Every structure is written in structure tokens, then in C-alpha cells.
Copies of this chain bind each other. A is one copy, B any other.
Amino acid sequence: MQTEVRYYQEPELASAVMVCGLPGIGSVAWLAVNHLQKELHAQLFAEVLSPMFSPKVWLGEDGVVGLMKGEFHFWKNKAGGPDLILFTANEQPYSPEGQYELAEVALGLARRFGAEKVVTMGGMATDRLSEPPRVYAGATDVSLVKELEGLGALKLAGGAITGTNGLVFGLARPKKIPAVCLLAETPGYLTLDANAAKAALELFSRMLKVTVDLTALEKQAKENADAVQKAKDLSRGFPREVRKGGDRELPYVS
């Protein structure tokens, strides 16, 4: 079986920005892109099926089978700003080669639909969380880094970003697509850190001048915080992993 991209629509996009949100630490990027998709009512237009995903299928609540796959949604911006391509997947490919391949697929699609910028997100695990979480930013050139610092991000100076979110970001550079990476602080023990996703999206909104209602993320963040507090009380300060939806329950976006 070869990797296959299936196109369901061929949207005409203007000054498009691709936003990449694969699952990763705290599911920060995944939550953020998932939230954008729901709030903006973005439309599915392409899917990637591939043996680079795990050899398994999942069942919906209705007993209907679904595949592991990547999905691309688009959103036409009626306010004059950039259109969006939202890229996400049920999981990151299990092999290094698969991660490179998926990043190439995404960037190929970005180019095909004229994306002028790529935004990737992620979580940065830290023991010293700020509230709200700080957002670190890196980019494909110095002027983009400075622009993001001007919007409130801290410069991501040094370090490595692993996985597909990192590769989509980095491989944009030799392809001459300007790209940024926004990493929000996350404590590391949260499976779904809505608070970090909200912080990343706030910076995203300021950068692209796209207004997004963040109420749903705020609500989820509040619930998480309450659950963490309760766990801390029970265990006398030892924070446990609070799973509001663990791996098995990770809701599928479609």
C-alpha cells in the first residue's frame, strides 16, 4: 500500500495559511487546530491514507469503522484576511520515515493550494508554568521571529523540535515557504492541555488577525484545572495525569 491523498474538493484559496496540528505533547497543536475547525466550520477537502499510520482501525459510536488518516479542512476568510488550510491527523506516523513522508505530503498540499505561510504549534513541557502559559516562537527567518516577539512570544533560542509538527515547520524552509512554530508551555502531565492550546491560539489570532471564539477551550481548561486541583488535594500535592479523554478516547475530528 502506498500513501494516497484523496481530494474531495479543489477549493480556490487566497493568501492561504496552513495550520498544522498533529497530536503531540499535551495535544496542544491538535486541540488548537481541532478548535479552529469547529469554530470556523472549516470544510474537509482532502484526506491522506497511508501505511505510515498504525495498523489499526477505530469504531465510532454508531459502530461504523474509521481509518487512521490525515485530514485537510479549508476555511474561506470573509473578513479579507488569509484563508486557512487546517491539517491534522489521528496520530503521528510511528516511524521516522513516515514522519518525513507525512510532512512532505502536507507541504506538497500547502504549495498546491498556494499557501503563503505555514503555522505549526506544540507544547513545551516545563516545571515552571506561567499563568497564562508563555508562548515560545521560532521561524524560518529572523524577521518572522522578531514579528512574533513583537506580538508577545518569547524567542525559541536553541533546542530541538521532534516529530511531524517539527518537520512540517523545518522542511518549509528549503521549500521557501515562510513558517513559524508556536510552542505553549504545558506541565507535561496533561493529555489534553486546553489552556496551552488557548495560549497558542491567542498568539495565532494576533498574528493572522483572525478572530476565533475561545470560549469552549476556556471551559475545557477550567475543567482540567479543577480536576488537577482535586487530584492534588487527594494525593497531597502529587499531580497525577488527568485524562479528560486519554489516547483511547481522543475524539476523532470529522
| Residues of chain A whose beta carbon lies under 8 Å from any beta carbon of chain B | 1, 6, 49, 51, 54-67, 94-97, 99-101, 103-104, 137-142, 145, 155-164, 166-167, 169-171, 173-174, 179, 181, 248
A217 to B63, CA, bound (A): 28
Contacts of A159 in B (CB 8 A): 58-59, 248
Contacts of A138 in B (CB 8 A): 59, 63-65
Cβ distance A219 to chain B, nearest Cβ, rounded Å: 23
Cβ distance A172 to chain B, nearest Cβ, rounded Å: 8
A65 to B96, CA, bound (A): 19
12 A-B residue pairs with Cβ-Cβ distance under 8 Å, sorted by A, are: A1-B100, A1-B104, A51-B100, A56-B163, A57-B161, A57-B169, A58-B158, A60-B157, A63-B145, A64-B142, A64-B145, A65-B138
A125 to B103, CA, bound (A): 36
Known: A1-B101, A104-B1, A174-B49. A166 touches B63 (CB 8 A): no
Cβ distance A27 to chain B, nearest Cβ, rounded Å: 17
Cβ distance A95 to chain B, nearest Cβ, rounded Å: 8
Contacts of A166 in B (CB 8 A): 55-57
A95 to B96, CA, bound (A): 10
Contacts of A1 in B (CB 8 A): 97, 100-101, 103-104, 171
A62 to B137, CA, bound (A): 11
Contacts of A99 in B (CB 8 A): 55
Contacts of A160 in B (CB 8 A): 56-59, 248
On whether the beta carbons of B67 and A170 are closer than 8 Å, the reply is yes
Known: A65-B179, A96-B51, A181-B65. A59 touches B161 (CB 8 A): yes
A-B CB proximity, top 6 nearest: A57-B170, A51-B100, A63-B145, A55-B99, A56-B162, A63-B155
| A167 CB contact (under 8 Å) in B6, B55, B170 | B55
| A141 CB contact (under 8 Å) in B64, B161, B169 | B64
A55 to B166, CA, bound (A): 8
Chain B CB count within 10 A is highest, among A156, A170, A173, for A170
On whether the beta carbons of B97 and A51 are closer than 8 Å, the reply is yes
| A101 CB contact (under 8 Å) in B51, B58, B59 | B51
Cβ distance A209 to chain B, nearest Cβ, rounded Å: 22
Contacts of A181 in B (CB 8 A): 65
Known: A101-B1, A174-B6. A164 touches B67 (CB 8 A): no
On whether the beta carbons of B56 and A140 are closer than 8 Å, the reply is no
